[in-house]
Structure 1
Amino acid sequence: LPSDQVAMNLVEYDNPGALVFQGSRSLQWDVEHIDLQRDGAFKKEVLGHSMLTLPIGSRLVIFSDGVTQAGMGKSLPLGWRLDGVREFTRTQIEANPDISSHDLAQAIVCRAHSLDRLSAKDDITCMVVYVRRPRRTLVVTGPPFIKEHDGQLVQKIKDFEGRKIVSGGTTAQIVSRLMQKPLKVDMSCWSAQVPPCSMMEGIDLVTEGMLTLSKVATALEQKKPVRSMTNDAVKKFIQVMQESDQVHFIVGTKINEAHQDPSIPVEIGIRRNLIGRLRRALEDVYLKETSQEYI
């Protein structure tokens, strides 16, 4: 298959028909129906089998009958039905063409739950498979060991295709100076636990360094839900991580004298170990791909 397509073998049993979208357009496809004819079956059992080739931008949406039967009553005698789910899904994709699998599945489940007046009559389950290119993020933390490598670091940032995070005041100053882009503090992104974010053209997120990274690692390890977090640098950092598939870390190896104060927790002074914690949490808990280089 071409690199912009995937082959999918879909088997369906005792559930509403799946939906496939190319962009916001609902697609139809041939389904082979197979009679199971099992001894002792209390009803006719039919298996649906499909071979699908899906290009980038396609979505497969699968759900339980608790979704299609949601809202069954006077206003919807037969429930939401497959056509209702299809139309709702189409409008969600049309309104947000880049909507994630998580957010689309959540929107469908929440809508079904609301049709049941927040009291589900059956299990409401939805899964979305989104065919797309990997979302990549670069995290840069710490200045290079040799000052002459500052330009090399900034060039790596410029060349990277994806979202970019700079973590650390000294690192941010280097990037700002060489990219000739001013840093502006974002006071809307603040809490008593961590310093506020900053804004810089060409960089998606700029944060303080070790303290913020330490709290990000802890939150990832503890699987803290983003929706319950304060709107600060930790939350914004984790949101980017969760929306990424591949995360590459560039770790500066210059010692920051500010972190030799014995009153500061040891873990935030050990940059390499901290990045190791982040990578393990991202890989083991969130199934992300990570990589790392030192400079």
Structure 2
Amino acid sequence: MNELCTDMGFVNFNKYGEQLCGDHVEIVSPEEKLTVMVLADGLGSGVKANILSTLTAKIISTMMANSLTVEDCVETIAATLPVCKERQIAYSTFTVIRIADNHDAEIIQYDNPPVILLRQGKNFEYPKTVQTIGGDTSSGGPSSGQKTIYKTRIKLEEDDTLIAMSDGAVYAGVGRSLNLGWRRENIITFVEGVYNREYTAKTLSSLLLDKCYSLYGGEPGDDTTICTMKIRQRRPINLLIGPPVSPADVPKMMSLFFSKEGKHIICGGTTSALAAKFLGKPLETGLPLHSDPEIPPTAKISGVDLVTEGILTIHKVLEYARDYIEGSGAYVQWSAGRDGASEIARLLFEEATDINFYVGKAVNPAHQNPNLPISFSIKMRLIDELAACLKEMGKRIKVSYF
């Protein structure tokens, strides 16, 4: 597999004391190889800003995904959003990144900090054209209703990384550690310093947001959002869990699983034994290399990248997946853990772009023990929820049942 894909990840925090974020990110993919990301920053903070940014992001993403012009988008927003009584303006700043075929990028920016483009880990100054939209210029002078839009069209390369942000990032540190805030050149120096080719978009966003939070001293003076889009090679991961309902389907299930390109994960004791028999290799259990009271130890089969226990391990992976979507507070735990759940999390969250699940629907007799909080329905639900979380992360998911 030699295709490219667009990896996306965003994180944010609220202004100190606010329950809602005034920024909003909307990502749509109306076609397989078309992705539109809109980061909108509503005027002010709190509920009003949240409404403004959400409306802006949803309107623009829908219109851009349907190939409407930026002029149409701005005019629609101006006609739709409520007017601020104090400032007599009705807008939300926004950044739009539209990527087609994982190669052609269109960047549209209005009053947000300029998007940073890293090429081979270093800042790349891309071209911009200026366009003025809206306002009544019949008097010959500038209009207060005019909006200056910066537009860019550029060909992207593998590992190119686009970083969009709300202005909370450049205000970080004002009045605390920095007099004038965290300027763009300082942000560029930081992201160049922490850049690692293996980092996912979400990881790079998280590193930058954590730095902003630190500069704010833990009490952010503004809503802050970081959204990263990275062009990378597709990396498939295949996960097999549970034996098929019919024993006659074992060869078919195993053949399909092992014929797929990419790394292979097997979950479950019975499933591992069947795979070992199919491959004609021993299932090596031995002494565990780690000790974790919550996660059963891993095993080894020659030719298989990872062999773990089933339901308990997957349940922990699902916990990590939920946390990853909400903000990745448990990142430190699974990013360095040697247990099966941590290893699966790293493979699925950070390495994989395409994930193929092979799920056997046979009922495990061990799970019928009334003292165990496990049932067939719970197993199916775990897989469904994990697949949904991974899809929300931007992964391509395919689930095959046997």
Which segments of 5 or more consecutive residues in structure 1 lack a partner in the other structure? none
Q: Label 1:43 to 1:123 Cα distance change in 2 as closer, same or farther (>3 A).
A: farther
How far is 1:137 from its partner? 1.9
Quick check: 1:190 aligned with 2:297? Answer: no
TM-score by length of 1: 0.77
Q: Which moved more, 1:96-105 or 1:260-269?
A: 260-269
User: Which residue does 1:292 correspond to in 2?
Assistant: 399
Cross-structure match for 2:162:
60
State how far apart, in whole Å, the 1-side matches of 2:310 and 2:131 are.
Answer: 58
Q: 1:133 to 1:83 in 2, by over 3 A?
A: same
Aligned residue number for residue 309 of structure 2:
208
Matches within 5 A, 1:42-61: 45-61=147-163
The aligned counterpart of 2:355 is: 247
Superposition deviation, residue 24 in structure 1:
0.8
Aligned to 1:15: 112
Looking at structure 1, the residues matched to 240 and 176 of structure 2 have their Cα atoms a distance apart, in angstroms, of: 57
Q: Residues of 1 paired with 2:203 and 2:322: CA distance?
A: 22
Using the aligned pairs only, state the percent identity.
24
The 3 A distance-change label for structure 1 pair 33 and 208 is same
1:104-183 equivalences under 5 Å are 104-144=204-244, 153-177=253-277, 178=279, 180=281, 183=284
Cα offset, 1:83, TM superposition: 1.4
Q: Secondary structure at the match of 1:197?
A: coil
Shift of 1:180: 3.0
Q: 1:76 to 1:255 in 2, by over 3 A?
A: closer
Structure 1 counterpart of 2:387? 279
Q: Distance in 1 between matches of 2:359 and 2:253?
A: 10
Distance in 2 (alpha carbons) for counterparts of 1:47 and 1:267 = 56
Please state how far the C-alpha of 1:55 moved relative to its aligned partner. Answer: 2.1
Instruction: State the shift of 1:175 in Å.
Output: 3.1
The whole-number CA distance in structure 2 between the counterparts of 1:76 and 1:97 is: 30
Shift of 1:240: 3.7
Paired residues of 2:3 and 2:234 also in contact (CA < 8 A): no
| 2:201 equivalent to 1:101 | yes
Find out whether 1:33 has 2:135 as its counterpart. no
Tell me the SS of whatever aligns to 2:220.
Answer: coil
Partner of 1:259: 367
Aligned residues of 2:130 and 2:151 also touching (Cα < 8 A): yes
Would you say the 8 A contact 1:61–1:127 is kept in 2? Answer: yes
1:67 deviates by 1.9
Note the C-alpha offset of 1:59.
Answer: 0.9
Inter-partner Cα distance in structure 1 for 2:327 and 2:170: 28
DSSP 3-state at the match of 1:109: helix
C-alpha distance in 2 between matches for 1:137 and 1:3: 15
2-side partners of 1:24 and 1:221: how far apart?
29
Partner of 1:71: 173
Counterpart residue number, 2:80: none
Q: Aligned partners of 2:117, 2:194: CA distance in 1, in Å?
A: 14
8 Å contact from structure 1 (residues 189, 197) kept in 2: no
Q: Distance in 1 between matches of 2:185 and 2:280?
A: 52
The residue type paired with residue 398 of structure 2 is S
Q: Which runs of 5+ in 2 are unaligned?
A: 5-101, 137-141
Distance 1:238 1:3 in 2: 23
Change (3 A) 1:248 1:187: same
Q: What SS class does the counterpart of residue 293 from structure 2 fall into? A: coil
- Conservation of the 8 A alpha-carbon contact between 2:135 and 2:145: no
Compared CA separation, residues 179 and 125, structure 1 to 2 (3 A): farther
* Conserved 8 A contact 1:226-1:238: no
Closer/same/farther in 2, CA of residues 242 and 74 from structure 1, 3 Å limit:
closer
Aligned residues: 290
What's the offset of the Cα at 1:109?
Answer: 1.5
Q: CA deviation at 1:75?
A: 7.2
The Cα of 1:117 is off from its aligned counterpart by 3.1
2:46 aligns to what?
none
**What secondary structure is seen at the aligned counterpart in 1 of 2:271?**
helix
**Cα distance change, pair 211–81 in 1 and its aligned pair in 2 (3 A):** closer
Q: Which amino acid aligns with 2:212?
A: A
* TM-score normalised by the chain length of structure 2: 0.59
SS of equivalent to 1:131: strand
Is 2:121 the counterpart of 1:24?
yes
What is the alpha-carbon root mean square deviation over aligned residues? 3.7
Q: Decide which moves more: 28-37 or 72-81.
A: 72-81
Change (3 A) 1:110 1:207: same
In the superposition, relative to structure 1, how do residues 279 and 267 fare at CA in structure 2: closer, same or farther (>3 Å)? farther
CA contact (8 A) 1:212 1:234 kept: yes
* Partner SS state of residue 67, structure 1: coil
Determine the C-alpha separation between the residues in 1 that align with 2:389 and 2:225.
27
